[in-house]
A and B are shown apart, each in its own frame.
Chain A
């Protein structure tokens, strides 16, 4: 899973839980990773959050994957320590209001979230107040569909206990209490995302074929389509392999596969 946090203190519970190591290559943002998770620490503010999100998609993972913005926030109503999912993210200077689609099955609070340029101390509405989520969404929505972009916040201050100054210890403590919840959210997003992907066997076969034969750009497209169809139409992988073994060129393989698939094209 991929996470964007503003501060190291917010990332710390994840770094410890997932045993992440700091990447050593030069980078505009600190990045902590293992083979399954990445955390990018953006620094404070929506511009930073936006840049860090962009950086993650272009330099760290290079491919669309689910992403979570995690951090502390003020709230006009919820108690200190309460986690909530942002369901409406606005910034008063921005026309775009974001509505992260409700895809998570969790029994936790839902709330609107206003991203502010300076820390909010008035808590005028019963919503959350942070400094990053809007910038995070605007960048993430350019790389992946909105269902897989979620903002999870933990209340650090509210009208009865207003913000005095950022306390790294408190941030780590509050978020650290909920690492299981964070893991659950990450798993739900990952599983939903995986359901949408083609069977990895197809990708494996495409890779194998490409290393065996040369395909033109158009043939590449055909190859992917035909293999996808072979899978959808229930052709046995051994039959595909058999065709492959009988074909002396990529072109012949595509042509024979296409012919053989004709018999499968009627819905059972």
Chain B
């Protein structure tokens, strides 16, 4: 799975580095002074690298926990995100990571403990208010768990910090870790969906909707709280029919009592990201859709977007109360 491992010299002896060296004994190991030498230079082709990403092991010495824009969130008053990893196993054509990062290599920061220390500090600023931490911002929270073991460490940490809340966001079915342990009241696992036909065409490598629902069902049975994320909403032929069937299927499988929150978000990308992605995939139909520039983002034309969001909202409200339904809006709107 991993043929090349770049590692910062400063983490060469880190136990997580050593474990990964052991796990991929045949991988070519290449030392570097700083991960930015490999990850950051411009003039790299994300699409080509995505065919066989290398793994970069590094220490993140910068700010590790960042505030989430006010227009995001699932009910908490304080919302933060952190990224122990940049880039993802899957290859969704709408994914902003392709527009944001020059490289498609998996960049893993092995200093998990430093993340937990900053999370503790952030959560203790207002100890009486629920403080949410989102982990799936720059990667899928679980897809590469067998390689990173991050979620395992995070669960142990959050178990000891019940006033801090964690959202694991995923499209994967790698949930064995959660299935094996008792649920934590302060951790939700949120699964993202688009209708299967859309997933087939623009979410490469993502497990099927039914496979995801089947693991969600198991987690619900175990008592874990779950999230549903319809973000981004993708305009398509038979939109209403497809989203209706997706939403019906989800709520047929998952008991409403297990649903912590549902969120909806329109397709939007900062214009420079969009331009870069369009250049990477000049023949991609998604980028030739009913799009327009609004503020600093590229989104569906306002009328299309509003109508699609409203359709999903109405469909969802048949299954969940409005206090569980959240909207993620681009900051400019």
Q: Report which A residues bind B (CB closer than 8 A).
A: 87-88, 97, 99, 101-103, 110, 112, 141, 144-148, 192, 196, 198-199, 228-229, 231-234, 261, 265-268
Nearest first, the 7 A-B pairs at minimum CB distance are A229-B288, A267-B236, A145-B45, A147-B48, A232-B288, A102-B4, A110-B28
Contact among A97, A147, A261, A268 with B237 in the assembled complex (CB-CB below 8 Å): A268
Q: Is B282 an interface residue (CB 8 A)?
A: yes
What total count of A-B pairs have CB within 8 Å? Answer: 92
A231 to B285, CA, bound (A): 9
Contact A87 B283 (CB under 8 A): no
Known: A145-B44, A146-B41. A99 touches B33 (CB 8 A): no
Contact B32 A99 (CB under 8 A): yes
Contact A232 B284 (CB under 8 A): yes
A232 to B286, CA, bound (A): 9
A11 to B309, CA, bound (A): 62
Least distance between A243 CB and chain B CB atoms (Å) = 17
Q: Which residues of B contact A229 (CB under 8 A)?
A: 288
Q: Which residues of A contact B288 (CB under 8 A)?
A: 228-229, 232-233, 261, 265
A10 to B145, CA, bound (A): 47
Contact B289 A102 (CB under 8 A): no
Known: A101-B44, A112-B30. A268 touches B236 (CB 8 A): yes
Please list 23 pairs of residues, one from A and one from B, whose beta carbons are closer than 8 Å in the complex, sorted by A's number.
A87-B28, A88-B30, A88-B31, A101-B48, A102-B28, A103-B51, A103-B52, A144-B43, A145-B43, A145-B44, A146-B44, A196-B45, A199-B283, A228-B282, A229-B288, A266-B235, A266-B236, A266-B239, A266-B289, A267-B198, A267-B286, A268-B201, A268-B237
Q: Report which B residues bind A (CB closer than 8 A).
A: 3-4, 6, 28, 30-33, 37-38, 41, 43-45, 47-49, 51-52, 54, 198, 201-202, 234-237, 239, 280, 282-290
A87 to B51, CA, bound (A): 18
Which residue of chain B has its CB nearest to the CB of A199? B283
Most buried by A among B201, B202, B280, B285: B285
Least distance between B193 CB and chain A CB atoms (Å) = 16
Q: Which residues of B contact A110 (CB under 8 A)?
A: 28, 30
Contact A102 B52 (CB under 8 A): yes
Q: Which residues of A contact B202 (CB under 8 A)?
A: 267
Q: Which residues of A contact B290 (CB under 8 A)?
A: 265-266
A181 to B28, CA, bound (A): 20
Contact B44 A147 (CB under 8 A): yes
Least distance between B86 CB and chain A CB atoms (Å) = 16
Least distance between B173 CB and chain A CB atoms (Å) = 25
Which residue of chain B has its CB nearest to the CB of A97? B37
Contact A233 B285 (CB under 8 A): yes
Least distance between A87 CB and chain B CB atoms (Å) = 5
Least distance between A33 CB and chain B CB atoms (Å) = 26
A261 to B285, CA, bound (A): 12
Given contacts A88-B32, A196-B280, A267-B286, 12 further A-B contacts (CB under 8 A): A87-B28, A97-B33, A101-B54, A102-B52, A103-B48, A103-B49, A103-B52, A110-B30, A145-B45, A146-B45, A268-B201, A268-B285
Known: A97-B32, A266-B236. A231 touches B283 (CB 8 A): yes
A265 to B237, CA, bound (A): 10
Q: Which residues of B contact A146 (CB under 8 A)?
A: 41, 43-45
Contact A196 B284 (CB under 8 A): no
A136 to B32, CA, bound (A): 20
Least distance between A215 CB and chain B CB atoms (Å) = 19
Contact A228 B283 (CB under 8 A): yes
Least distance between B246 CB and chain A CB atoms (Å) = 15
Which residue of chain B has its CB nearest to the CB of A109? B28
Q: Which residues of A contact B239 (CB under 8 A)?
A: 266
Most buried by B among A101, A148, A233: A101
